[in-house]
Amino acid sequence: MFSSSIQYEALQLEKRIENRSETICGDWSTRIGGSQKCFKIFEVMCAHLLPLWIPLLHHSLLDEVLAVPAVSPYELPKLSRAEYRYMGVESDDLIEECQLIHPSYGSDRCGHSVMWIPVFDSMGLPNNCYAINSFIGNLSIKPYTTLSKAYVIIKLRTETSDTFYTSTPSAIQMSVHNSRDYLNPFKKGISLKPCFNYNMFISKTINELLPYPYATNCTDYLELWKARGGFGPLSKTQCREECLLNVSLKEAGCVDPIYIYYPNEAKMCDHPAMSNFYYKQCADSCNRACNRENIRVAVEEYASLLSLRDKDGVEQCSSVITLAFNRMELKKFSYYPKYERVDLFGIIGGYLGVWLGISLLAVTDLLETLFVIIKVIKEAIQKRKKKSNWLSKDDYLQNRYHADSRGNFRLKIY
């Protein structure tokens, strides 16, 4: 392994910054509010779990609201992930509004396309999350920038009384991240209370590492993401989570919702399926990312009592989330090659061997031979020039002087 040096740089906030993506998860317990709706759409599930619910019902089966106790994910019916999607909150029921506010020329809608992200929550239950401004699966979209003085306002709707699981607190989970990330906000995110407003201030840390043979030994996940058509992990943690998902599908034919955090639509296990064998297979399978971006969010929370309202007998309230970039701090850690004498000698020799097919010793011998040949040629040229100068001097004497009978040179006058 070759050594490297690190350079820290605190960058000033630029006038234009790249837009982020927000993934928001609703409370799965608020979607199935009525028993009639439950039996109409998911008759198998309701009939399967009804014996567990009857002792704890808060209302009769004819009521519009049915509240039930929390269950283990292994007790859920064997439905597909797509079927569980319709049991969770829909994007239109969760996200009321998303606006990108420009201080100079008004606002734009930021929620034109919302992508469904299937995840499991902290209890292992299926949950619906929705990503705003996501580039997942789309290589043609280019990141766009906005003024640092701009801010994003997201208005979320929450029903406080229509709760499917009585033992599960009503909450919204949210994560701010890179638009190419495919992540689970229950793994890395912020919990939001219903009827509360939030101000969020974004800061970012960038780490630029070096690949093998340097000690950082990173992987360019962005290039792998592009090669897979806009899908895949972008960090070491996500790589391990995807590895566990693949190993679980290979060994058990299903995913254990308690231990699998990577978003997926695979079949859920009805029994614990994870073991240390899975973790050992994925322990050393992933490296750090060559370009890692960590986004941190500073949160200010305050209650909004005026947002509570009653609609069709159901208590509803809105939470307004403001994402501001005017306090953004950008830190950058960059690794550069650090060449020692031995390293430099080895690198030069190695590259010559790869490119030319010869060793550094052979190149040294060749250079020495060329030097000797050039030196001999140069000396021969200098001798020839010196001899030529003497011949020119003899011609000069013969043309200007003549020798008399005694051998003396006399100047020619004629």
One digit per residue, pLDDT tens: the chain, 414 residues?
Answer: 566 666 666 665 667 778 889 999 987 654 444 444 454 445 555 555 555 555 544 444 434 444 445 578 888 888 888 888 887 888 888 899 999 888 777 788 886 679 999 999 888 888 999 999 999 998 888 877 788 888 999 999 876 554 544 445 567 899 999 999 999 999 989 999 888 999 999 888 889 998 888 888 899 999 999 999 999 999 999 999 999 999 999 999 999 988 899 999 999 998 888 778 888 889 888 999 999 889 999 999 988 765 566 656 566 788 899 999 888 888 888 888 775 555 555 656 665 565 566 666 677 778 888 888 888 888 888 888 776 665 555 555 555 555 565 656 555 555
pLDDT at 43: 55
pLDDT at 389: 63
Are 179 and 232 within 8 A, CB to CB?
A: no
pLDDT at 59: 45
pTM tops 0.85, yes or no: no
Q: How far apart are the first and last CA of the chain?
A: 88
Look at residues 322, 320, 319, 328 and name the one whose alpha carbon lies nearest to residue 296: 328
Are 267 and 77 within 8 A, CB to CB?
A: no
What's the Cα-to-Cα distance from 362 to each of 144, 271, 353, 359, 365, rounded to whole Å?
53, 65, 10, 5, 5
Alpha-carbon span 331 to 147, nearest angstrom? 19
Half-sphere exposure of 320 (CA within 13 A, CB side): 12
pLDDT at 50: 55
Look at residues 123, 116, 122 and name the one whose alpha carbon lies nearest to residue 81: 116
Strand pairing report for 309-311 and 314-324? antiparallel
**Tokens 């919990």 label which residue?**
191
- H or E, element range at 244: helix 236-252
Helix (H, G, I), strand (E, B) or coil at 407: coil
What's the Cα-to-Cα distance from 108 to each of 112, 114, 383, rounded to whole Å?
10, 15, 85
